[in-house]
Amino acid sequence: MSSTDLAAAPTKPMSLRLRHLLADYGIFFAFILLCVVLGIAEESFMSWGNWVNILRQTSINGILAIGMTYVILTKGIDLSVGSLLAVSGIVAASFVTGGAGLGVGVAVLAGLGVGLALGMINGAIVARLGLPSFVVTLGMLSVARGLTFIFNDGMPIAGLSPAFKFIGQGMVAGVPVPVLILAATFLLFWFILKYTTFGRYVYAVGGNEKSARTSGIKTRWVTFSVYAISGLLSALAGIILAARTTSALPQAGVAYELDAIAAVVIGGTSLSGGVGTLTGTLVGALIIGVINNGLDLLGVSSYYQQVIKGVIIVAAVLLDASRKKQA
């Protein structure tokens, strides 16, 4: 072996290690770099009060994105999460206003039940009839939004009880309640995905549904379940949003599915299914929250913010496609 070959030999393992390092931790490096840049550009960005706002705002998208991750891991998509958020929030709010006054527990259960039921309808149609998830959830987006306007004649529901508003506005030991709910939701569904048989089935169905079915996995049940999970978490996000804004708005959640999908894709979950983690999704949601907050502090128009987020989504998809080619 020549001296040139000896000199070149270590470079390949080093490049591979660097590539693996970037693949595993690149999202964390990007998040830290983004925070440093925004901290330099706007000194108030790094204040604790601002970070409380970022975390509170991220909680809604973070919860939506957790459910979306389950769906995308099975090679599906759920475009109805914003509408499910709205209808669940307005149903929950109706139980704690007016003559109903049935209590926060009943209100939360009612809202969660509506989101779960509509998510189950999505799952049943996709799993049993084999229709494309894009078409099914696009239809549900319209149906659920229409139901939201029908429910209270297009009017918002205000006058929520203090106990209900605590879900969205309360603080425990200096931490916003929505952030605590996000943390609990993340830990629960992270554990399910990583350490349970169902979690392994989700990856198997997304990786190769035909092989999963051949190996005895009930693929239809798994597909049905992930849309039910997405509907349930959409409802949870809707309840938090209604409590935080002190009123349930029929137009709430418009385009929220875009932020949820962005968080999932930026977090490294492949749109082709079978690859991704909830940790990456959580960081992706934080990146979206930091971008929104940072651009607001810098006085950037919301119109430009939509363009920037769109570019980020496309870049993340291109990166995913590049990774698959190199694999």
Question: Could you read off the pLDDT of 155-194 as tens digits, one per residue?
Answer: 999 889 899 999 999 999 989 999 999 999 999 999 999 9
Number of domains within the chain: 1
Burial of 15 (0-12, 13-18, 19+ CB in 10 A): exposed
Q: Would you put residue 299 in left (φ > 0), alpha (ψ -120 to 50) or beta?
A: left
Mean pLDDT of 43-62: 93
The reply to whether 302 falls in a domain is: no
The DSSP bridge partners found for residue 293 are none
> What is the token pair recorded at 26?
């690149």
Q: Which pLDDT band holds residue 9 (cuts at 50, 70, 90)?
A: very low
**Which secondary-structure segment (H or E) carries 255?**
none
**Whether the predicted pLDDT of 239 surpasses 50:** yes
Answer yes or no: is 1 within a domain: no
Residue 318 lies in a domain: no
Give the containing element (helix H, strand E) for 172.
strand 171-172
Specify if 206 maps to a domain: yes
Residue 73 lies in a domain: yes
The predicted structure's pLDDT at residue 21: 64
For residue 198, the enclosing domain spans 49-253
More confident residue, 222 or 307: 222
pLDDT in tens, 270-313: 988 999 999 999 999 999 999 999 989 988 888 888 888 788 77
Q: What is the pTM of this model?
A: 0.90
What does the alpha-carbon distance between residue 311 and residue 72 come to, in Å, rounded to a whole number?
Answer: 20
d(CA 84, CA 35): 32
Let me know if residue 277 belongs to a domain.
no
| In-domain check, residue 295 | no
Residue at 269 is within a domain: no
- DSSP-derived letter for residue 46 is G
SS3 category, 44: helix
pLDDT at 20 over 70: no
Most confident of 48-52, 135-139, 148-152: 135-139
Q: What CATH number has the domain bearing residue 214? A: 1.10.3470.10
Strand, coil or helix: 270: coil
Q: CB–CB of 79/257 below 8 Å?
A: yes
